[in-house]
Amino acid sequence: MKVRFAVAMAATLLAGAVGMAAEGSWTGWISDSQCGVKGANDKAGECTTKCVKEHGAKYVFVNDADKKVYVVDAQDKVAAHAGHHVAVKGTVDGETLKLDSIDMAPATK
């Protein structure tokens, strides 16, 4: 009985830890959900905006480090950055980026 309780408690704690959101800052591109990684470049701005406005796509953030695509919760905050290389701060919860701030990424040499 005690073993079952201990196993159940451990499983509950593990599930809670897995469900926690990761807070941080990342650098990447603002693309759209139809193009994803393919639209993560400085030539995709107009196409990204068109896909969102005319085809029902959503703005997404493509992380430079691992090319993972996250849907941005604050669509209105990223619209002006379509096709831009940006630095974002926020919280990742599953496949959603809960945006706190967005700025242009520093230029690389």
Strands 59-63 and 69-72: antiparallel
Asked whether the beta carbons of 30 and 61 are under 8 A apart, the reply is yes
Q: Supply the pLDDT for residue 21.
A: 77
Answer whether residue 19 shows pLDDT above 60.
Answer: no
Its pTM surpasses 0.75: yes
One-letter amino acid of 18: V
Asked whether the beta carbons of 27 and 86 are under 8 A apart, the reply is yes
pLDDT tens for each residue of 22-79: 999 999 999 999 999 999 998 898 999 999 999 999 999 999 999 999 999 999 999 9
Q: Supply the pLDDT for residue 3.
A: 52
In this structure, what token pair is assigned to residue 11?
């499983």
| ∠ Cα 43 26 31 (to 5°) | 30
Lowest mean pLDDT among 29-33, 78-82, 97-101, 105-109: 105-109
pLDDT tens for each residue of 1-14: 565 544 555 555 44
Radius of gyration for the alpha carbons in the chain, expressed in angstroms and rounded: 18
